[in-house]
Amino acid sequence: MKTRFDSLTPQLIQQRQQVHEICRQFGRSPSKGNLKRLKQLLKACGEQVVIESGFYCDYGDRISLGHRVFININCTILDGGQVTLGDDCLIGPNVQLLAVSHDSDPTLRLEKHNYAQDISIGNNVWLGSGVIIIGGVKVGDNAVIGAGSVVTKDVAPGYLYAGNPARKIKKL
C-alpha cells in the first residue's frame, strides 16, 4: 500500500539534514563512535551488525536490522517507508533499497508528492552487488538476488532471482 507524505515539511527536511550529516561523518571516518551514532538512528538494530562506510539513508528511524546483518560499502536506503532486514542478511556493495517514489504522471509530479511503500527482507537473504529493490517488495527467507538485479515484485523464499526486472531462476 502506498502512503502519500510530504518530504518538504520543515521537520522532515531538518531530520534528513541531521541524518545525512551523521552518514557523511561515518563515511569520512567509519570509527566505532560514528558507527554507534549511525546505529542509534535506526528504529531497531540487532547484535553483531556490520555496516561498512558509504552508508546513506534519509531518516533512519524507519529502518530495522536483525541480528548479524552485514551491509557492504555504498548502501543507500531511501526510507520513506519502513525497511526491515531479517537476521543474517548479506547486503552487497552498492545496493539500493528505495521505499519512496513519486507520481509518474508529469502534471501530478509537479506537486512534489512522495509515496512511501515498505520493503521487507526476510532472514538469511543475500542481495548481490548493485541490487535495487523498490518499495512494496517482500523478499522471502533464504532467497538470493543476483548482482545488478532490479526487484519490482515479491521474491519467493528459497529461490534465486536475477535480471532486470528480476525473475525466478531456480530453487536453492
Catalogue the active-site residues: 102
Residues with Cβ within 8 Å of 24's Cβ and at least 6 positions away in sequence, in order, are: none
Q: How far apart are CA 167 and CA 144, in angstroms?
A: 11
Regarding beta strands 126-127 and 144-145, do their DSSP bridges make them parallel or antiparallel, or are they unpaired? parallel
Sign (positive or negative) of CA dihedral 13, 16, 22, 24: negative
Residue 155 and residue 145 in contact, taking contact as beta carbons nearer than 8 Å: yes
